[in-house]
Amino acid sequence: MEKDIKKEALRQYLKYFKVWFIIAGVLAVITIGAAVVHLLTPKTVRGNSQDPTERVFDYADMLTDEEEQSLREYIAECEEKIQADIVIVTISESVEYDLQNPGLAEAFHAKEVGSTDWSTAMRDLADNFYDYNNFGYDKVHGNGVLLLDNAYEGQKGSWLSTCGNVYDYFGDYEIDQALYAVDDYIDESPYKAYKNCISYVTRTMEESKESMPMTFSPWILTGLVVALIYAAVNLHQSKAKDTTTVNQYLDGKKPKINNTRDQYLRKNVVTRRIETSSSSSGHSGGHSGGHGGSHRSSSGVSHGGGGHRR
Amino acid sequence: MIFRCKNCGGNVVYSPERKKMFCPFCESEDSEEREDGVIETSGEENGTAEGTVQAAGAGQPVSRMAAAEGAAQKKVTKVCPNCGGEIPMTVNTSATQCPYCDNYVIVDDQISGAYTPHMLIPFHMGKEVCKKLIRDKFEKCIFAPTDFLSEVRMNGIYGDYVPFWFYDYNTNCTFHGEGTKVRSWTTGNTQYTETSYYDIVRDMDIDFVKIPVDASVGMPDDVMDLMEPFDYKELQEFKPEYLSGFHSERYNMTSDLVESRAKAKMQEDAQKMLHDSYSGYSSVRKMGENINVTDSSVSYGLLPVWKYDYSYKGKEYPFYVNGQTGKLVGTAPISKAKVWAYAGTLGVTLAAILCMVNAIASLV
């Protein structure tokens, strides 16, 4: 008897969760399949052959030939790790107030460069350079990051432009940190500064990949919350209610009225003036931020980015 | 007494579906023959009045109720007129089933003399309908123990005619008060609020008929109140035949002991009706209210209730179903193991599914 009940309980349990178990089972098979395929297939190979092989564009001559070569090798190593192009561009040009600098426009393949605003000018230069040269690891205008460093006296500073997976992972904080990595060493050695920046980008991108399993916790929490709600809903039992009416036990269902009187006695009136409130409206002042944020470049590619002016 | 079938000698019972006497053995209808076998009390003899709680003489109501609990539960055994087996029952039992020969026996002296019911409502729904009602209601209760709705357990359901006192009251209800009506309007920049005062007088005769109060110590008062309402159109004159096939007991609390409950019901309803009669006012200040009983009477009858006694982990879970209307009172027990297992499985499976969907999305 006791055994039969346990058997029946198990049967009911399995029947109740049949669909759930089937879905979970099918998904488990797919997950294992996907994991196996993922492990067996080599890492994404370059999906873009239209970008130049050059990664270091030292227009401002900040680096020695040896340093350039060393950077190229380091970049090649890092690019494979993070599946994103890494590009270093140095210039020594006035980008501010100089709306018609034909030399600069030619170098950056832009119709019009320069702006009265340093940040906007640096941003446009960086994004346009990236887009025009078809950078991107996985595809044209795909994953990548570009560091533009300006050594022009009075307009010194660097801008980091992000795209694709770097754009996805890098928020304002990460961009700032990458730029600080440049700031820390630029006076000592530009080579060290750029390498430090590349190293920070690579490290952060790798960490973001590793922290992927952390995204499971919200799902586990969701499961817990749903289970609690489910238990609460099913623990609730509707109780029997009083279903008798007021006249349930009344002879003829209605009382016999002998006398009803509603005699008017008096009244009083209270008056009140209504205050008309004059409406007022305020203007909130404009707010300007120092960050590039998310934007589309003139060629329609989404870039993120930010700059530090020294 | 026992009702026997003329045709086969089997035990004839009242069938709620057929509204007739029915022999479940040879399927004859109205074939009953009354056999007035005297039911002897075996063991020590108790006076028939002993189990009844009376208002007179006894002390505090609380101690009287406590005494009633004990008295009503007092066990006796009586000899089955059919097989001679000893049937265990309480001193108040008037109809029961012999555990040996399964015949339904009726204890003659519990339905005669002062204990003769004036009326009763016969069972309207049979056992199978009652089982279905309970199943329908608790089917979705997945945390209930597995055998809660099992055929084996549910077969223990039995029909019980519960003794009730029915109170009739003729009342004169009066009310006096001052009511206000508030009107508000706006002209230009001025808002006017006008309050009018009225003198309210109400005088009505309210006649209550058959306010039921259970006369059984064993039946919980709140549950019996929730069993209401019964449809009095089906009230029949008492006949012992109706008891065959069911359990029953005679009243074991006297009418004056439980009358306070009837009066409370009467007063509540009368007040509501008075209140409804001046509902049009914004506010009413009560200056006088009087509910005066001009005439009253009481009668004794039986009302049909199906009962399912389910015990789980040493605790009783009684379920009551109105044998006429099917109204159900009772809450299912909860199996903690099931709550953990079901909620846990749901949570873990859901989390696993979401995590896997997430993993697949990031891998592909």
The whole-number pLDDT of residue A283 equals 37
Instruction: Write the residue in A27, A250, A270 that is nearest to B356 by C-beta.
Output: A27
Tokens linked to B77: 């055994």
**CA distance linking residue B299 with residue B251, whole number of Å:** 11
**Closest residue by Cα to residue B209 from A247, A64, A222, A74:** A247
Structural domain boundaries enclosing A60: 56-212+296-309
- pLDDT of B59: 44
A250, B206: Cβ pair inside 8 Å?
yes
Q: What confidence score (pLDDT) does residue A253 get?
A: 78
**Chain A residue numbers touching B342 (CB-CB < 8 A):** 13, 16, 230-231, 234
Number of CB pairs, chain A paired with chain B, less than 8 A apart: 215
In sequence order, the 6+-apart residues with CB closer than 8 A to the CB of B293 are B169, B170, B171
CB of A246 within 8 A of CB of B273?
yes
Q: What is the per-residue pLDDT for A97? A: 54
Distance between B334 CA and the closest CA of chain A, angstroms = 8
Q: Report the gap between the CA of B190 and the closest CA in chain A (Å).
A: 5
Distance CA A221, CA B347 (A): 9
CA pair distance A95, A118, nearest whole angstrom: 7
Residue from the list A12, A227, A251 with its beta carbon closest to the beta carbon of B344 = A227
- Cα separation of B60 and B47, whole Å? 24
Domain ranges of chain B: 37-165+212-252+301-333, 336-364
Provide the pLDDT for residue A1.
66
Task: Report the helix count and the strand count for chain B, using DSSP H and E.
Answer: 6, 17
Residue B72 confidence (pLDDT): 60
Angle at which helix A190-210 crosses helix A172-185, to 10 degrees, equals 150
The answer as to whether A253 is a domain residue is no
Q: Do A274 and B186 touch (CB under 8 A)?
A: yes
Contact A267 B193 (CB under 8 A): no
In degrees rounded to 5, what are phi and psi of residue A85?
Answer: -70, 140
Considering only the beta carbons, identify the residue of A8, A38, A270 that sits closest to B146: A8
Q: pLDDT of B141-197, one tens digit each?
A: 889 998 888 888 888 899 999 999 999 999 999 999 999 999 999 988 889 999 999
In a domain, A103, yes or no: yes
- Assess: ipTM above 0.90: no
Task: List the single residue in B with minimal CA-CA distance to A26.
Answer: B353
d(C-alpha B263, C-alpha B207), whole Å: 13
C-alpha A138, offset from chain centre:
20
Q: Is residue A73 part of a domain?
A: yes
- pLDDT score of A116: 64
Q: Which residues of chain B have pLDDT under 70?
A: 37-73, 364
Nearest residue on chain B to A228, alpha-carbon basis: B343
**pLDDT tens for the 310 residues of chain A, in order:** 678 888 888 998 999 999 999 999 999 999 899 888 878 776 666 778 888 888 999 998 989 999 999 999 999 999 888 889 999 999 988 877 555 566 665 666 555 555 667 888 888 889 889 998 999 988 888 899 999 999 888 888 999 999 988 888 888 899 999 999 999 998 899 999 999 999 999 998 888 766 555 567 888 899 999 999 999 998 888 788 888 888 888 887 788 889 898 999 998 888 888 876 554 433 333 333 345 567 777 677 788 888 888 8
Task: Select the residue of B189, B209, B278 nearest A274 (Cβ to Cβ).
Answer: B189
Considering its fold, how many domains does chain A have in total?
A: 1
d(CA A255, CA B274): 9
Q: For residue A11, what is the nearest residue in chain B, using CA coordinates?
A: B146
List CB contacts of B204: < 8 A, sequence separation 6 or more. Answer: A255, A256, A257, A258, B172, B173, B174, B273, B274, B277
The span from the CA of B219 to the CA of B163, in Å, is: 10
A157, amino acid identity:
G
Buried b (16+ CB within 10 A) or exposed e, A142-158: bbbbbbbbbbeeebebb
Q: Nearest-CA residue of chain A relative to B232? A: A249
Tracing tokens 């990031």 back to the chain, one arrives at B362
Nearest to B357 among A16, A27, A259 (CB): A27
CATH code (residue A188): 3.10.310.50
CB contact under 8 A, A264 and B357: no
